[in-house]
Each structure stands twice: as C-alpha cells, then as structure tokens.
C-alpha cells in the first residue's frame, strides 16, 4: 500500500471567532501549517446577537436550541456568509488558497433533517455522506477548504449542523485518502484531570485511561460526548486526534491532549 | 486552433431573487441548460431590508449608495450567505453540481478598493484580475460556479462589487478558454426601441445601430452604461451577449436582444 499523505483538519469554535485579534493570530498560525489542511469553524456569538437584533426569540426545548426557519436564515447568513468569507479573505492575505464551503457546495456534505421521537429540533442536519471524491481532488490541487457548520439535504433544504460533527465526519471520510490528524481547538488547554485546574492537562489518553477516568468521575458532563466522538473517529480510521487551545499551533511549550485508541 | 467549448454565463438580478417562485422556476430552467455554465447573482432587496431591521441608515453621496463597514457586513451576510447558499442548495436538488463563490474563495476575483477623486464609495471593489486557471479547472471538472457580488483585495478585505461587472469580467477572462455567451436577465424582455412598450424589443443590435439609436435618443439613461459594458466585453473576446427576461431560457417564443459587434 502506498503511503498516504498527511492531512491536518482543524476545528475552531466561538472562543476564537468572537475575538478578532485571536482569530487573526490563529489564521496566521494556521497558514503556516505544512501540507494539506482543512479548517472547520463554528459560529460564536454573532448568530445569537443577530437573532436578538432582528427580534427573534431563541426557541429552546429541554435546554436545546431549536433551529426554526427564521433562525436557520440567521445561521446561514452568519456562518456561511459573514464568518466564512471573513476567514477566507484573511487566509488569502496569508497566501493560503482557502475556499469556503457549506455542505451544499459541490454536494460536499449531505445530511438528513434530524428525526427525533419527541423533540422537533427544526432545521438541524445529521451528516449522511461526504463527497470525498470532489473534496480529495480539491485538496490535492492545493485548495484549503474552509467549512462552515451548514449542510443540506439534497432536496434544496439547508440544515444547521454541529461543527464538531462536521470536523469528525470529514476526518473519517478523508482518512480513506489521507493520514488524518484531527485537531479540536477550544478554550481549555486540553482534557483536564481537574476541570478547575488548567495545569492538569492529560497529555495522552487512550480508551483504557478514558474508562478509568470516567469511572472515577474525573472526566464528566460535556467532555464525555466529545471524547466518545473522538474514539469513534479513531475507530473509523482517523490516525490521531489532538484537543487543546489554539496556542498549541505556534507555542511548542503549550500542552495539549493527544487521543489514540 | 482547437475549437473552444461553449460556456454560458448567466447574470440574474433582484427581480428574480426577490420572488421565490420565479427564482425556483429560473433555477429549474438554468439546470437544464446544456454544457458548461456559470451563474452570477445580484442582491435584491434583502440587504436593504436587513440593514433597516438592524437600524442602519443607508449612506448616500450624490445619489450613490456608500458601502460603509456596517453595510459591507450586511451585504456579505446576505449575498454570500443567505442568497448564495439558497441558490446552491436548490441547484443541487436539480442535480446541478453548484459551488458558491465570492471573489475571495480560491482568490477567484481580485479587486481594488475604488479610489475616486471626490466620492469615498467605502468598501466597493473594482475588478482587477480573475483566477482563470482555477476557475477553468473547476468548470472543466463539471462544477457550476455560482458567484455572488463580493470580491476581495487580497489583503484580507472583502469588497462589494457590481454583479453586472462580475459577470462581464468573468466572461472576458473565460473567453480565453471557452466560447462564451453572456446572458443578462432582467425585468424587461430586452433592449427596447420604446422604454414604455415591452413589445418593442430590438432583437439584434450592433455598434452601428447602437450609435444611431443613442443619437436618436431611443436608447438613453441606464441602458447606455449597460450597453457600453456589453460592447466592451465583446471587444475583449466574449462571443455573444443576450439581454432579456429569464423566460427566454425556457420559452422559445420569448423575444430578447442579441448584442454583437
């Protein structure tokens, strides 16, 4: 089997997007990553702010935000319009040939509207299929895809989709062609032994340690679905996953968590 | 010299975009056009509506709208986000492999901020360069580019750019590789002998007839820069230009104006 080329997939969230200075620094660091790469970005607070300023009231059911038709319009505008194009233009200034995509573009990511037995989440999509042929061709031709968290159902309907899931689905699908490292950048320096102590970074975690820490209660709440998702991606072919603050990209002393099977 | 392949470039404006039923019909017709094609869309009224609903006051100087920073954010959201992704998702439903682009994506269209001796237009771009290599490759691979009226300056700044100009600059640049027909769809059935009579369509116009009709006063005001722009594009390599209502795409009896040198 021939050696696969390395591909770095990086997901950033609201903590970077909401801070123009951090975003600029991050994009400069991202532009310096060698080799093939893909960026996935979440939304940050702008969509909520925009929704409020046009008088939309957030629809919540059982603590979950519902994407009704009006909210979908807002997230499409903000994620695929404002944030995505701003990132693409900034990356171009760093000589990175970025192209912004939603899942509808090139049918790159097909979803189905979530069908939940008791909660109608509205226009929320669960990923069904990645168009790896086109995406692989684009990446191999030197394009750096920048994905926003919008997909489509193939029948003309755009759908709001979790950015972490988009990153992991891209990583799984592209691991057919590439040796993929998936990086989740968030506000913490990594997975922590003690959530209150940023210095307690677990530098390396595998399924065995994860089981122990979960049983001890050291890893709990929001970190559980995140890590379950990571192990699922690794089982499906992703080579390596890193979780940490985006400073891990340019600060060689910065700690982060590496996740392997 | 080998024969160039045919490429249809189609520009649509607000009259179609503001009417969901007409837009749907148009996109269905567009999806049936044989061969290589590109769609360019303007903005319609949504940007103005959005600007009003968040309390922006349109800035006008000498009757021209000024794109200040706040208005640029709105047009990027609406043009590159809402309208562009809606069109792309609908075209995907018609099995047309559309990909939405601003000029920043893939550095496809580089502009410079307009530098006018007396009026500061704000964040408005005049097109400098089309990345025909990448665009030609994408089109040849079966992708149908859908351009919104946003470009960039290569230094990280997005710029609002006239959609008619984007269409003509794409047509000129792509005529290097393709035999290009440029279609401008607007609310009228074509260039009219009498602006008040929709039945007075001039079915064919060349430079000579244009000069005569301009001298007679039959062609005046807004139609003059439009036609000047058309003849300029033809002189720079575009094969043929059609102006008419979008019904010309599916109604073989519909009149329209063909412009040649």
Task: Report yes or no: A233 at the B interface, CB cutoff 8 Å.
Answer: no
DSSP label at B3?
P
Domain that holds residue B108: 5-185
Please indicate, yes or no, whether residues B88 and B181 belong to a single structural domain of this protein: yes
Please indicate, yes or no, whether residues B160 and B136 belong to a single structural domain of this protein: yes
Please indicate, yes or no, whether residues B124 and B10 belong to a single structural domain of this protein: yes
Please indicate, yes or no, whether residues B147 and B27 belong to a single structural domain of this protein: yes
Instruction: Answer yes or no: is A149 within a domain.
Output: yes
Task: Report yes or no: A56 at the B interface, CB cutoff 8 Å.
Answer: no
Task: Report yes or no: B84 at the A interface, CB cutoff 8 Å.
Answer: yes
- Candidates A107, A110, A40, A50; CA nearest to B78 is A50
Phi, psi of B201 (to 5 degrees): -65, 130
Do B100 and B83 form a contact (C-beta atoms < 8 A)? no
Instruction: Answer yes or no: is A217 within a domain.
Output: no
Residue of A53, A77, A101 with shortest CB distance to B81? A77
Residue of A53, A81, A101 with shortest CB distance to B77? A81
Query: Does B65 show up as a binding residue in the annotation?
Result: yes
Within 8 A of B152 by CB-CB distance, chain A residues are 88-89, 92
pLDDT at A176 over 60: yes
Residue of B81, B100, B137 with shortest CB distance to A105? B100
Please indicate, yes or no, whether residues B122 and B177 belong to a single structural domain of this protein: yes
Please indicate, yes or no, whether residues B61 and B148 belong to a single structural domain of this protein: yes
Token pair listed for A125: 């999509």
Q: Which pLDDT tens digit goes with each residue over A12-44?
A: 998 899 999 999 999 999 999 999 999 999 887
Phi, psi of B259 (to 5 degrees): -115, 125
At A9, which CATH number?
A: 3.40.1160.10
Whole-complex ipTM: 0.95
Instruction: Answer yes or no: is A119 within a domain.
Output: yes
- Candidates A173, A164, A166; CA nearest to A152 is A166
Instruction: Answer yes or no: is A210 within a domain.
Output: no
Q: Which pLDDT tens digit goes with each residue over A227-242?
A: 999 999 999 999 999 9
Name the domain boundary from B185, B216, B248. Answer: B185
Length of chain B: 261
Name the domain boundary from B152, B168, B185. Answer: B185
Instruction: Answer yes or no: is A137 within a domain.
Output: yes
Instruction: Answer yes or no: is A12 within a domain.
Output: yes
Within 8 A of B86 by CB-CB distance, chain A residues are 76, 158
Confidence of residue B2 (pLDDT cuts 50, 70, 90): low
Question: In sequence order, what DSSP letters do the residues of B89-145 get, joined into one string?
Answer: HHHHHTT--EEEE-SSGGG-EEEEE---SS---BSBEEEEEE-HHHHHHHHHTT-EE
Within 8 A of B102 by CB-CB distance, chain A residues are 85, 88, 100
- Candidates B46, B82, B90, B69; CA nearest to A75 is B82
Please indicate, yes or no, whether residues B179 and B198 belong to a single structural domain of this protein: no
Please indicate, yes or no, whether residues B174 and B45 belong to a single structural domain of this protein: yes
Please indicate, yes or no, whether residues B136 and B50 belong to a single structural domain of this protein: yes
Name the domain boundary from B185, B207, B236. Answer: B185
Q: Which pLDDT tens digit goes with each residue over A45-100?
A: 899 899 999 999 878 777 677 899 999 999 999 999 999 999 999 999 999 999 99
Please indicate, yes or no, whether residues B53 and B179 belong to a single structural domain of this protein: yes
Instruction: Answer yes or no: is A229 within a domain.
Output: no
Q: What is the dihedral of CA A153, A159, A163, A164, to 10 degrees?
A: -60
Confidence of residue A1 (pLDDT cuts 50, 70, 90): low
CA distance B211 to chain A (A): 42
Distance separating the N- and C-terminal Cα atoms of chain A: 22
Please indicate, yes or no, whether residues B162 and B209 belong to a single structural domain of this protein: no
In this predicted structure, what is the pLDDT of residue A204? 96
In this predicted structure, what is the pLDDT of residue A2? 64
Q: How many domains does chain B have?
A: 2
Q: Which residues of A186-220 are buried (b: 16+ CB within 10 A; e: fewer)?
A: bebbbbbeeeeeeeebbeebeeeebeebeeeebbe
Please indicate, yes or no, whether residues B254 and B145 belong to a single structural domain of this protein: no
pLDDT at B154 over 90: yes
Instruction: Answer yes or no: is A171 within a domain.
Output: yes
Whether B85 and A53 lie within 8 Å, measured CB to CB: no
Whether A77 and B73 lie within 8 Å, measured CB to CB: no
């Amino acid at each position: 089997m021939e050696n696969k080329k390395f591909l770095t997939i990086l997901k950033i969230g609201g903590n970077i997007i909401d801070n123009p200075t951090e975003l600029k620094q991050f994009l400069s660091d991202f532009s310096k990553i060698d080799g093939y790469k893909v960026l996935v970005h979440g939304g940050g607070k702008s969509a909520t702010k925009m929704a409020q300023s046009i008088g939309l009231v957030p629809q919540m059911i059982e603590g979950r935000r519902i994407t009704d038709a009006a909210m979908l319009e807002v997230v499409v505008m903000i994620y695929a319009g404002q944030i995505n194009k701003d990132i693409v233009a900034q990356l171009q200034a760093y000589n990175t040939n970025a192209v912004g995509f939603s899942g509808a573009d090139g049918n790159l990511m097909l979803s189905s509207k979530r069908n939940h037995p008791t909660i109608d989440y509205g226009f929320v999509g669960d990923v069904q299929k990645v168009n790896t042929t086109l995406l692989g061709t684009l990446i191999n031709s030197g394009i750096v895809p920048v994905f926003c968290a919008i997909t489509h159902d193939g029948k003309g309907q755009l759908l709001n989709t979790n950015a972490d899931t988009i990153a992991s689905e891209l990583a799984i699908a592209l691991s057919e062609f590439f040796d993929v490292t998936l990086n989740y950048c968030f506000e913490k320096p990594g997975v922590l032994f003690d959530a209150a102590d940023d210095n307690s970074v677990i530098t390396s975690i595998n399924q065995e340690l994860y089981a122990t820490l979960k049983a001890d209660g050291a890893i709990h709440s929001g970190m559980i679905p995140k890590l379950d998702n990571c192990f699922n991606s690794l089982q499906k072919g992703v080579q390596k996953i890193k979780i940490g603050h985006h400073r891990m990209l340019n600060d060689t002393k910065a700690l982060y968590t590496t996740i392997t099977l």
